[in-house]
Copies of this chain bind each other. A is one copy, B any other.
Amino acid sequence: MSKQPTRPDVAADAVRTGPRGRPRSAEADCAILEATRAALVELGWSKLTMGDVATRAKVAKTTLYRRWAGKSELVVDAVADLFDELELPDLGSLKADVECVVLRFAALLERPETRTALMAVVAEGTRDEALRGRIRSAIVDRQKGLVLQGRARAQARGELPYEDDPATAARNADLIFDVIAGAVVHRTLVSAEPVDAAWARCFTRLLLSGLASLRN
Protein backbone atom coordinates (compact mmCIF):
# COMPACT_ATOMS: atom_id res chain seq x y z
CA MET A 1 0.00 0.00 0.00
CA SER A 2 2.32 2.72 1.13
CA LYS A 3 5.60 2.84 -0.69
CA GLN A 4 8.59 3.20 1.54
CA PRO A 5 11.17 4.57 -0.82
CA THR A 6 14.14 4.44 1.50
CA ARG A 7 13.56 0.90 2.65
CA PRO A 8 16.28 -1.30 1.14
CA ASP A 9 14.74 -3.86 -1.13
CA VAL A 10 14.85 -7.23 0.57
CA ALA A 11 15.71 -9.19 -2.56
CA ALA A 12 18.09 -6.58 -3.95
CA ASP A 13 21.29 -8.20 -2.79
CA ALA A 14 21.95 -11.80 -1.86
CA VAL A 15 24.50 -10.64 0.70
CA ARG A 16 21.77 -9.20 2.87
CA THR A 17 20.76 -11.92 5.28
CA GLY A 18 17.65 -10.22 6.62
CA PRO A 19 16.21 -6.93 7.75
CA ARG A 20 18.80 -5.28 9.95
CA GLY A 21 18.28 -2.66 12.56
CA ARG A 22 15.07 -1.80 14.32
CA PRO A 23 12.06 -2.46 12.13
CA ARG A 24 9.59 0.28 11.31
CA SER A 25 6.57 0.52 13.50
CA ALA A 26 3.47 -0.78 11.74
CA GLU A 27 1.22 1.03 14.20
CA ALA A 28 2.83 4.32 13.25
CA ASP A 29 1.94 3.86 9.59
CA CYS A 30 -1.65 3.26 10.52
CA ALA A 31 -1.86 6.14 12.98
CA ILE A 32 -0.34 8.51 10.45
CA LEU A 33 -2.80 7.66 7.70
CA GLU A 34 -5.67 7.98 10.13
CA ALA A 35 -4.36 11.32 11.34
CA THR A 36 -3.96 12.50 7.77
CA ARG A 37 -7.60 11.75 6.99
CA ALA A 38 -8.70 13.51 10.15
CA ALA A 39 -6.62 16.56 9.29
CA LEU A 40 -8.03 16.61 5.78
CA VAL A 41 -11.54 16.66 7.18
CA GLU A 42 -10.80 19.48 9.59
CA LEU A 43 -8.39 21.61 7.63
CA GLY A 44 -8.59 20.64 4.00
CA TRP A 45 -5.67 20.06 1.67
CA SER A 46 -4.13 23.50 1.62
CA LYS A 47 -4.08 24.01 5.39
CA LEU A 48 -2.91 20.49 6.08
CA THR A 49 0.57 20.40 7.51
CA MET A 50 3.10 17.63 7.89
CA GLY A 51 3.85 18.85 11.38
CA ASP A 52 0.21 18.82 12.30
CA VAL A 53 -0.25 15.29 11.02
CA ALA A 54 2.78 14.19 13.01
CA THR A 55 1.35 15.75 16.15
CA ARG A 56 -2.04 14.12 15.69
CA ALA A 57 -0.45 10.74 15.05
CA LYS A 58 1.82 11.22 18.09
CA VAL A 59 4.81 10.63 15.91
CA ALA A 60 7.90 12.66 15.10
CA LYS A 61 7.97 14.68 11.90
CA THR A 62 11.07 12.77 10.83
CA THR A 63 9.14 9.54 10.95
CA LEU A 64 6.74 10.89 8.38
CA TYR A 65 9.52 11.95 6.07
CA ARG A 66 11.21 8.58 6.47
CA ARG A 67 8.14 6.96 4.90
CA TRP A 68 6.71 9.54 2.51
CA ALA A 69 8.47 12.06 0.33
CA GLY A 70 5.94 14.80 0.96
CA LYS A 71 2.41 15.87 1.57
CA SER A 72 1.11 14.69 -1.79
CA GLU A 73 2.39 11.14 -1.45
CA LEU A 74 1.07 10.89 2.07
CA VAL A 75 -2.37 12.08 1.12
CA VAL A 76 -2.58 9.75 -1.85
CA ASP A 77 -1.97 6.79 0.41
CA ALA A 78 -4.35 8.12 3.03
CA VAL A 79 -7.28 8.49 0.66
CA ALA A 80 -6.44 5.35 -1.31
CA ASP A 81 -7.71 3.34 1.64
CA LEU A 82 -11.09 4.95 1.22
CA PHE A 83 -11.29 4.06 -2.44
CA ASP A 84 -10.78 0.42 -1.51
CA GLU A 85 -14.20 0.47 0.08
CA LEU A 86 -15.79 0.91 -3.35
CA GLU A 87 -17.29 -2.35 -4.50
CA LEU A 88 -19.37 -3.37 -7.44
CA PRO A 89 -22.76 -4.60 -6.24
CA ASP A 90 -24.59 -7.43 -7.98
CA LEU A 91 -28.18 -6.30 -8.36
CA GLY A 92 -29.05 -8.52 -11.27
CA SER A 93 -28.81 -6.04 -14.14
CA LEU A 94 -26.09 -3.90 -15.60
CA LYS A 95 -28.26 -0.82 -15.30
CA ALA A 96 -28.87 -1.31 -11.61
CA ASP A 97 -25.24 -2.10 -10.97
CA VAL A 98 -24.02 1.03 -12.76
CA GLU A 99 -26.52 3.30 -11.06
CA CYS A 100 -25.54 1.92 -7.72
CA VAL A 101 -21.82 2.25 -8.23
CA VAL A 102 -22.28 5.78 -9.53
CA LEU A 103 -24.11 6.70 -6.36
CA ARG A 104 -21.50 5.01 -4.19
CA PHE A 105 -18.70 6.77 -6.01
CA ALA A 106 -20.47 10.09 -5.63
CA ALA A 107 -21.01 9.44 -1.93
CA LEU A 108 -17.29 8.82 -1.59
CA LEU A 109 -16.54 12.10 -3.32
CA GLU A 110 -18.92 13.96 -1.02
CA ARG A 111 -16.81 13.03 1.96
CA PRO A 112 -14.70 15.99 2.94
CA GLU A 113 -11.44 14.02 2.90
CA THR A 114 -11.76 12.90 -0.68
CA ARG A 115 -13.44 16.10 -1.82
CA THR A 116 -10.50 18.27 -0.84
CA ALA A 117 -7.74 15.80 -1.55
CA LEU A 118 -8.52 14.28 -4.93
CA MET A 119 -8.33 17.35 -7.13
CA ALA A 120 -5.34 18.61 -5.20
CA VAL A 121 -3.18 15.56 -5.73
CA VAL A 122 -4.22 15.38 -9.37
CA ALA A 123 -3.16 19.00 -9.72
CA GLU A 124 0.20 18.22 -8.14
CA GLY A 125 0.45 15.18 -10.40
CA THR A 126 0.34 17.32 -13.51
CA ARG A 127 3.92 18.35 -12.74
CA ASP A 128 5.23 15.18 -11.11
CA GLU A 129 5.45 11.99 -13.08
CA ALA A 130 6.22 9.84 -10.02
CA LEU A 131 3.24 11.18 -8.16
CA ARG A 132 1.04 10.56 -11.17
CA GLY A 133 2.13 6.93 -11.18
CA ARG A 134 1.41 6.65 -7.50
CA ILE A 135 -2.08 8.05 -7.97
CA ARG A 136 -2.65 5.70 -10.83
CA SER A 137 -1.62 2.57 -8.97
CA ALA A 138 -3.13 3.51 -5.63
CA ILE A 139 -6.45 4.94 -6.78
CA VAL A 140 -7.24 5.00 -10.48
CA ASP A 141 -6.43 1.42 -11.39
CA ARG A 142 -8.69 0.08 -8.68
CA GLN A 143 -11.63 2.03 -10.01
CA LYS A 144 -10.84 0.88 -13.51
CA GLY A 145 -11.02 -2.65 -12.18
CA LEU A 146 -14.65 -2.02 -11.33
CA VAL A 147 -15.38 -1.25 -14.97
CA LEU A 148 -13.73 -4.46 -16.11
CA GLN A 149 -15.53 -6.45 -13.46
CA GLY A 150 -18.87 -4.92 -14.37
CA ARG A 151 -18.38 -5.67 -18.02
CA ALA A 152 -17.41 -9.27 -17.33
CA ARG A 153 -20.48 -9.72 -15.18
CA ALA A 154 -22.73 -8.18 -17.82
CA GLN A 155 -21.22 -10.43 -20.45
CA ALA A 156 -21.86 -13.45 -18.25
CA ARG A 157 -25.44 -12.34 -17.91
CA GLY A 158 -25.71 -11.94 -21.69
CA GLU A 159 -26.33 -8.18 -21.41
CA LEU A 160 -23.19 -7.36 -23.33
CA PRO A 161 -21.50 -9.30 -26.14
CA TYR A 162 -17.98 -10.66 -25.76
CA GLU A 163 -15.59 -8.55 -27.75
CA ASP A 164 -13.34 -10.17 -30.29
CA ASP A 165 -10.49 -7.70 -30.47
CA PRO A 166 -8.74 -7.27 -27.11
CA ALA A 167 -7.36 -3.88 -28.17
CA THR A 168 -10.83 -2.57 -28.86
CA ALA A 169 -12.06 -4.05 -25.62
CA ALA A 170 -9.36 -2.19 -23.69
CA ARG A 171 -10.04 1.05 -25.53
CA ASN A 172 -13.71 0.82 -24.77
CA ALA A 173 -13.10 0.09 -21.11
CA ASP A 174 -10.86 3.15 -20.88
CA LEU A 175 -13.46 5.31 -22.58
CA ILE A 176 -16.24 4.13 -20.30
CA PHE A 177 -14.06 4.62 -17.28
CA ASP A 178 -13.19 8.19 -18.22
CA VAL A 179 -16.83 8.96 -18.95
CA ILE A 180 -18.17 7.58 -15.69
CA ALA A 181 -15.44 8.82 -13.38
CA GLY A 182 -15.12 12.11 -15.22
CA ALA A 183 -18.83 12.86 -15.18
CA VAL A 184 -19.26 12.05 -11.52
CA VAL A 185 -16.15 13.94 -10.44
CA HIS A 186 -17.02 16.93 -12.58
CA ARG A 187 -20.58 17.18 -11.32
CA THR A 188 -19.53 16.72 -7.73
CA LEU A 189 -16.43 18.89 -7.54
CA VAL A 190 -16.61 21.37 -10.40
CA SER A 191 -20.30 21.95 -10.93
CA ALA A 192 -20.72 21.34 -7.21
CA GLU A 193 -24.16 19.86 -7.61
CA PRO A 194 -25.43 16.70 -5.97
CA VAL A 195 -25.42 13.31 -7.63
CA ASP A 196 -28.84 12.00 -6.65
CA ALA A 197 -30.78 8.96 -7.81
CA ALA A 198 -32.44 10.90 -10.64
CA TRP A 199 -29.14 12.11 -12.02
CA ALA A 200 -27.67 8.64 -11.73
CA ARG A 201 -30.63 7.18 -13.63
CA CYS A 202 -30.37 9.77 -16.39
CA PHE A 203 -26.64 9.38 -16.69
CA THR A 204 -26.79 5.60 -16.74
CA ARG A 205 -29.42 5.62 -19.43
CA LEU A 206 -27.29 7.92 -21.55
CA LEU A 207 -24.23 5.78 -21.01
CA LEU A 208 -25.74 2.37 -21.61
CA SER A 209 -27.70 3.25 -24.69
CA GLY A 210 -24.70 5.07 -26.08
CA LEU A 211 -22.66 2.01 -25.27
CA ALA A 212 -24.87 -0.17 -27.38
CA SER A 213 -24.20 2.00 -30.41
CA LEU A 214 -20.45 1.50 -30.14
CA ARG A 215 -20.96 -2.04 -31.29
CA ASN A 216 -22.36 -1.21 -34.72
Contact = CB atoms under 8 A, between A and B. Distances in A.
Given A46-B123, A177-B191, A181-B190, 20 more contacts: A44-B127, A115-B126, A116-B126, A118-B123, A119-B119, A122-B123, A125-B189, A132-B192, A175-B202, A175-B203, A178-B187, A182-B182, A182-B187, A206-B214, A207-B210, A208-B210, A209-B209, A209-B212, A210-B211, A210-B213
A52 to B, nearest CB: 16
Nearest to A109: B126
Interface in A183-216: 183-187, 189-193, 199, 202-203, 205-214
Contacts of A140: 190-191
A7 interface: no
A75 B30 CA distance: 36
Contact of A174 (B126, B193, B212): B193
24 contacts: A45-B127, A46-B123, A46-B127, A115-B126, A116-B126, A119-B119, A119-B122, A120-B123, A174-B191, A175-B202, A177-B191, A178-B186, A178-B190, A178-B191, A179-B182, A179-B206, A181-B182, A181-B190, A182-B182, A182-B185, A185-B185, A205-B214, A209-B213, A210-B211
Given A174-B193, A175-B203, A119 B123 contact: yes
Identical chains in the assembly: 4
Interface residues of A, number: 50
Contacts of A45: 123, 127
